[in-house]
């Protein structure tokens, strides 16, 4: 069975995440391509900090030491780890809205036991 995360649940979770990450005073966000773009842009605007994609890591200013790596969901953490490994000289926290599988991000909003699809994904299989 596949659970679909509706737009309302997605943005509710984003607002909950914003409250959890505000105290960290991140310098910027790295949003993972495609699945992290919507939430990364939203959090960037809400927190008034820049957002970069994973392909823009080399352009992150050295003065940005506290970085949040964001994706909307995780399972194995493989995509997140690729980015973390490129930023080992910085203070990194990882955040996802929906944790699925065995990867444990620094911050997350909800555990999902089923396969999860987002409202913006093509649901035809």
> 125 pLDDT exceeds 60?
no
pLDDT tens, residue by residue, 24-47: 999 999 999 888 999 999 999 999
Q: Is residue 103 situated within a structural domain?
A: yes
| Tally of domains within the chain | 1
Query: What pLDDT does 33 receive?
Result: 84
> What is the phi-psi region of residue 69: left when phi exceeds 0, alpha when psi lies from -120 to 50, beta otherwise?
beta
Which strand ranges, in their side-by-side order, compose the sheet holding 28-31? Answer: 51-53, 28-31, 66-74, 91-99, 107-111
Q: Is residue 121 situated within a structural domain?
A: no
Query: What pLDDT does 24 receive?
Result: 96
Spatial contact of 124 and 11, defined as CB atoms under 8 Å apart: no
Name the H helices within 48-117.
Answer: 78-86
Tell if the pTM clears 0.85, that is, is over it: yes
Q: Is residue 21 situated within a structural domain?
A: yes
How many angstroms from the chain centroid is the CA of residue 34? 11
CATH code at position 85: 3.40.50.2020
Q: Is residue 125 situated within a structural domain?
A: no
Q: Is residue 30 situated within a structural domain?
A: yes
């Amino acid at each position: 069975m596949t659970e679909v995360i509706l737009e309302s649940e997605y943005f509710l979770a984003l607002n909950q995440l914003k409250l959890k990450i505000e105290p960290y005073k991140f310098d910027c966000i790295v949003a993972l391509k495609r699945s992290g773009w919507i939430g990364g842009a939203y959090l960037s605007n809400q927190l008034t900090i820049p957002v970069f994609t994973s392909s823009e890591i080399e352009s992150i200013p050295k003065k940005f030491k506290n970085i949040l790596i964001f994706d909307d969901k995780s399972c194995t953490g493989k995509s997140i780890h690729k980015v973390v490994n490129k930023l080992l000289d910085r203070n990194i926290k990882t955040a996802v809205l929906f944790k699925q599988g065995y990867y444990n991000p620094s911050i997350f909003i909800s555990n999902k036991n089923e396969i999860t699809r987002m409202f913006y994904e093509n649901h035809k299989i």
